Structure 1
Amino acid sequence: MRHTLPIAPQFYVTAPQPCPYLEGRMERKLFTALQGENADKLNDSLSQQGFRRSQNVLYRPSCAECSACLSARIDVNAFTASRSQRRTMHRNADLNRRASSPWASEAQYELFRTYLDSRHAEGGMADMDVFEFAAMIEETPIRSRVVEYTDEASKELIGVSLTDVLSDGLSMVYSFYAPDHLKRSLGTYMILDHIRIAQEAGLPYLYLGYWVPGSQKMGYKAKFSGLEVYIGGQWQAMRDPEAFSADTHPLSTDPIAEQVANIHLPDTRPTR
Structure 2
Amino acid sequence: MTDLKELHFFSTPEHSCSYIKGYKAKTLFVDPQSNISATAFSQLSDLGFRRSGKHIYRPHCEHCQACISVRVPIQFFQPNKTQRRIYNKNKDLIVQKTIPRYTDEYFKLYSDYISLRHADGDMYPPNKEQFISFLVEGQQPCEFLEFYLDSKLIGIAVTDRLTKGLSATYTFFDPDPALQHRSLGTYAILWQIEECRKLNLEYLYMGYWVQSCRKMKYKIAYRPLEFLIDGQWILIRSQ
State TM-score, norm by structure 2.
Answer: 0.93
1:42, distance to aligned residue in structure 2 (A): 2.0
1:57 pairs, out of 55, 58, 62, with 55
Match of residue 160 from structure 1: 156
Q: Which amino acid aligns with 2:19?
A: Y
2:146 pairs, out of 145, 148, 172, with 148
Q: Deviations over 1:176-195 (max 9, x none)?
A: 11222211111111000000
Alignment of 1:1-272 (within 5 A): 8-34=6-32, 37-152=35-150, 155-180=151-176, 181-241=179-239
1:235, distance to aligned residue in structure 2 (A): 0.5
For 1:224 and 1:235, the matched residues in 2 are separated by 16
1:58, distance to aligned residue in structure 2 (A): 1.1
Q: Which amino acid aligns with 2:168?
A: M
- Number of equivalenced pairs: 235
1:212, distance to aligned residue in structure 2 (A): 0.7
Q: Which amino acid aligns with 1:231?
A: I
- 2:7–2:34 CA contact under 8 A, matched in 1: no
Q: Which amino acid aligns with 1:21?
A: Y
Q: Which amino acid aligns with 1:88?
A: I
For 2:17 and 2:133, the matched residues in 1 are separated by 24
Q: Deviations over 1:28-86 (max 9, x none)?
A: 11111355554312211100111001112211111122111101110011100100000
Q: What secondary structure does 1:114 align onto?
A: helix
For 2:13 and 2:4, the matched residues in 1 are separated by 29
State TM-score, norm by structure 1.
Answer: 0.82
Q: What secondary structure does 1:58 align onto?
A: strand
For 1:239 and 1:27, the matched residues in 2 are separated by 29
For 1:30 and 1:216, the matched residues in 2 are separated by 24
Q: What secondary structure does 2:96 align onto?
A: strand
For 1:119 and 1:87, the matched residues in 2 are separated by 23
> Compared with structure 1, are the counterparts of its residues 184 and 30 closer, same or farther at alpha carbon in structure 2 (3 Å cutoff)?
same
1:6, distance to aligned residue in structure 2 (A): 10
1:122, distance to aligned residue in structure 2 (A): 2.4
- 1:72–1:208 CA contact under 8 A, matched in 2: yes
For 1:6 and 1:204, the matched residues in 2 are separated by 22
Report the RMSD for the aligned CA atoms in angstroms.
Answer: 1.8
- 2:114–2:125 CA contact under 8 A, matched in 1: no
> Compared with structure 1, are the counterparts of its residues 206 and 35 closer, same or farther at alpha carbon in structure 2 (3 Å cutoff)?
farther
